[in-house]
Amino acid sequence: MTQADLEKAPLTAPPPIEETPLRVLVVDDSALQRRLVALNLKKWGFDIKEAASGNEALKECKENHFDLIISDWVMPEMDGLEFCKEFRKLSRESYGYFILVTSKNEKNDVAKGLDAGADDFLSKPVNSAELKARIRAGTRVLEMEKKLISQNETVNNALKELREVYDEISKDLVEAAKLQHSLIPVRHKKLETAELSLLFQSSGHVGGDLVGFFSISQNRIGLFSLDVSGHGISSALLTVRLAGHLNPHNKTQNIAFEPQSGGGYRFLSPPEIASLLNDRMMEEMDTEHYFTMAFADIDLETGHVVMVQAGHPHPVIFNPATGVRFLGAGGPPIGLLPFVEFESFEFDLKPGDRLFLYSDGVTECQNTKGELFDDDGLEALLKNKLDASGPEFMDDLLWKLTEFSEGTPFDDDISAILFEFERKIMP
């Protein structure tokens, strides 16, 4: 076949080997060289377009998408090297593999081609086997890119779905936090002979701490501070259930009141309350959680207190006149072991005494060095704030802990209840 026959030969070929064959642009100022390369590519199932110059090729690339470019280096006006540089400046959604065809084989020339953005080189005259090998190398790169794009799209879609799920969870957690805060209906309450102040600061959206109080009788009040093990939603759910067991509004739903056959209710002693809660945890609540509790039965007339400490931090009495005293001997937590016996201890509050119950988030607050606030830090704070009372004291406590932790988020929930005994009612 003569050169004239080659130039006139139609670019017919068998059907493409792929449903969407790669698009290839063949660039050469020699029609014969273009036709030789194009015939082979057609035969191998590629979608071919030709251009006779770098300028024409650049125009084609601006108007059409090509997966692979095979361009001669030496051409008039715009050579292959300049065309490659301009091609790399184009905005594309996917990578274009660029092969430079050249008779140049000096290392400096190869370096220039790579710097311009070429991926591979073909030597003139173009050998069919070498052309096929270079094309295969290019298609492998393009296939890897397609896989990466597909995988990235899958990952991005998954991340989008996760963000949507996370947004929904965040909304639910915000509502859950509102619900949990509603379990502490008041932050400060004035009684005839005392004042109550409560503090709750969750380390996350929801927490496992609970503080509260309820009326036992006209002259008695029950105070409690609870701390469920762990963090997060499961701890918060158990806290909500425990709040139901210590319902301040309905004695029939409050575990501390035992209905009597003749009518009325008997109020259980603090150790009995702890034992009953322990039985419920072991028998009814299928959970790995347990909790600590300090519960105080306080006579509002005399200041007499009966208390149980079930693994909870030591209650504190502080008074401007008598200083700071830590109470209790510890005791086992609730829900960890069956058939546990809980013991009470008793003491009398004097006018001016403040009874302080708190979770271990206070004493176990950490700073950036890993040091704990500890009992010593709490005692120093109480001695420094002997005259502070009510919400002012709670604000001072939270500020001191924030200062100690150097502004880092708390690792655990912070909760406390302060009972300030003001005076006795004289007969």
Residues 296 and 343 in one domain: yes
Residues 147 and 270 in one domain: no
pLDDT of residue 381: 92
pLDDT per position as a tens digit, 185-218: 678 899 989 999 999 887 765 667 889 999 999 9
What domain range is 99 assigned to?
3-151
Residues 6+ apart with CB under 8 A from 407: none
pLDDT per position as a tens digit, 137-159: 998 998 888 888 888 888 888 88
Residues 256 and 111 in one domain: no
pLDDT of residue 64: 92
Residues 342 and 401 in one domain: yes
Residues 292 and 204 in one domain: yes
Residues 416 and 269 in one domain: yes
Using pLDDT thresholds of 50, 70 and 90, give the confidence band for residue 289.
confident
Residues 131 and 242 in one domain: no
Task: Note whether residue 165 is domain-resident.
Answer: no
Residue 182 scores a pLDDT above 70: no
pLDDT per position as a tens digit, 367-417: 999 999 999 999 999 999 888 888 899 999 999 999 999 888 888 889 999
- For the residues 75-92, what does the mean pLDDT come to? 92
pLDDT per position as a tens digit, 277-287: 999 988 876 67
Task: Note whether residue 163 is domain-resident.
Answer: no
CATH of the domain at 15: 3.40.50.2300
Higher local confidence (pLDDT), 168 or 425: 168
Task: Note whether residue 376 is domain-resident.
Answer: yes
Quick count: other Cβ atoms within 10 Å of Cβ 272? 17
Residue 97 scores a pLDDT above 50: yes
Residues 251 and 370 in one domain: yes
Task: Note whether residue 169 is domain-resident.
Answer: no
pLDDT of residue 177: 59
| pTM for this predicted structure | 0.62
Residues 34 and 145 in one domain: yes
pLDDT of residue 269: 96
Residue 258 scores a pLDDT above 50: yes
CB 11 within 8 A of CB 55: no
Task: Note whether residue 10 is domain-resident.
Answer: yes
Residues 207 and 77 in one domain: no
Residue 296 scores a pLDDT above 50: yes
Task: Note whether residue 50 is domain-resident.
Answer: yes
User: Which residue carries 């290019």 as its tokens?
Assistant: 138
Task: Note whether residue 216 is domain-resident.
Answer: yes
Task: Note whether residue 236 is domain-resident.
Answer: yes
pLDDT of residue 16: 41
CATH of the domain at 312: 3.60.40.10
Residues 121 and 202 in one domain: no
Residues 192 and 319 in one domain: yes
Query: Prior bond to 125 cis, omega within 30?
Result: yes
Counting the structural domains of the chain, the total is 2
Beta pairing class for 291-299 and 304-310: antiparallel
Using pLDDT thresholds of 50, 70 and 90, give the confidence band for residue 13.
very low
